[in-house]
Amino acid sequence: MLELDGIYKSYYRQRVLENISFSIPAGQIVGLLGPNGAGKTTLIRIINQIIAPDKGYLSFHGKLMTSEHLKNIGYLPEERGLYKTMTVEAHALFLGQLRGIPKADVEKQLNYWLEKFEIESWRKKRIEELSKGMAQKVQFICTVLHDPDLLILDEPFSGFDPINVELIRDELKEFRAKGKTIILSTHNMKSVEEICDQVVLIHEGKKIMEGPIMDVRNAHKEGLFSITFSGNMIAFATALWAGYEIISKEVHNDTTFTVYLKMRSENEFNDLLATLLPAVKIISAQEVLPSMEDVFMKKINEGKEVENA
């Protein structure tokens, strides 16, 4: 659906993006991750054609991207604002028409969204009369008003209360279900794990990782398992003896524990269970995949180590 091929961008002899290439299929939510200053906002601006790349190409639905495609993109920037003196309706009409959508269609869509969010009474309110959370809802509506195929959201959850975060998350899932594509730039790794299908990690202007969330987490797993059992801790430790390394434990009560351990040898998960079953009563046992936050930190630190070496 969207394809980036060898994107380069420099500002005043300082390289901000270097050879960024990836493609996003339709109907997916892609997390664009990276620490501050990694070049995410620049990349997003390039996709939105706010700035042009020094080198590289973008294609949209298989065609070289032009300004014509902008009407199929919705963009909610991190630093977002509205004209304070305009009413919600006037603002939505203005932004919708700027995207090239006929007024009647914008009005129809606005009615739909105001009804959906149950905020019809805000229609004639001036933006300055709204609270920050209310204004953000309006911003979201203005972003999706023209029913775009691609939604680009830069830190969409910042400033929202948990109820609104949930609301927006549900909306994004609904968008995905309709076959729309979403690029989500955020530092909120919990959201990434929860709703993203894929991630692209950028660090210092370079793409350092890309792939489906589960693949990425699996690729970075370290053989860590969590076992919750009831019984004697000494019996548990004795049963394991060699071949396993206990990393940490949580004591729930005198007889119930959760232990995190790694396997040292070629043992399989089944071997572990076979070893433990005679010694304790297993309540739950599972392999622990690294969180996206762990993966993120690990990859960023790897980058730093390479630099220092």
Partner 1 sequence: MRKIHLIAMRELKERIKSRSFLLMAVLGPLFVLGLFYALFSLGGSEKQHWNVLIMDKTEIMQTKIAPKKDPRFTFHFINEFVEYEQFADLEQFQGYDLAVLINEKIISNKQVIVSYRELPSENIQRRLIYHIERRFEEVMVQEFTDLDVAKFREIKQSMNFSFKNTYDPKNEVNYKAAWVGYVFGIGILLFVFLFGMTILRGVANEKSNRVVEVLLASVSPKQLLMGKVIGIGVTALLQFIVWASIIGVGLYVFRQTFFPDLLDPSLLLEQMTQDVAQQAMNEFALTARSYNDFVDLVYRDIHFTNMLIFFVLFFLGGYFFYGSFFAMIGAAMGSESDGQQYIIPISVVLILSLLSGYYVIYHPDTYMADILSYLPFTSPVIMMIELSKGFTEGSVWQIYLALFILLISSVVLFGIAGRIYKNGILQFGHRLRFGMLIRWLKKS
Task: Point out which residues bind partner 1 (CB under 8 A).
Answer: 12, 45, 48-51, 67, 70, 73, 75-77, 79-86, 94-95, 97-100, 139, 142
CA–CA separation, 304 and 309 (whole Å):
9
DSSP classification of residue 51: S
Nearer to partner 1, 64 or 219 (CB): 64
Q: In whole angstroms, how close is the CB of 44 to partner 1 at the nearest point?
A: 9
List the one residue out of 64, 68, 141, 67 whose CA is nearest residue 108. Answer: 141
Q: Would you call 285 helix, strand, or coil by DSSP?
A: strand
Nearer to partner 1, 97 or 226 (CB): 97
Nearer to partner 1, 158 or 248 (CB): 158
Q: In whole angstroms, how close is the CB of 60 to partner 1 at the nearest point?
A: 14
Nearer to partner 1, 50 or 214 (CB): 50
Helix, strand, coil tally for the chain in percent (to 5): 40, 30, 30
CA–CA separation, 165 and 156 (whole Å):
8
How far, in Å, are 31, 76, 78, 150, 236 from residue 153 at the CA level? 10, 5, 8, 10, 48
Nearer to partner 1, 83 or 112 (CB): 83
Q: In whole angstroms, how close is the CB of 77 to partner 1 at the nearest point?
A: 4
Q: In whole angstroms, how close is the CB of 114 to partner 1 at the nearest point?
A: 19
Please provide the size of the chain in residues: 309
Q: In whole angstroms, how close is the CB of 139 to partner 1 at the nearest point?
A: 8
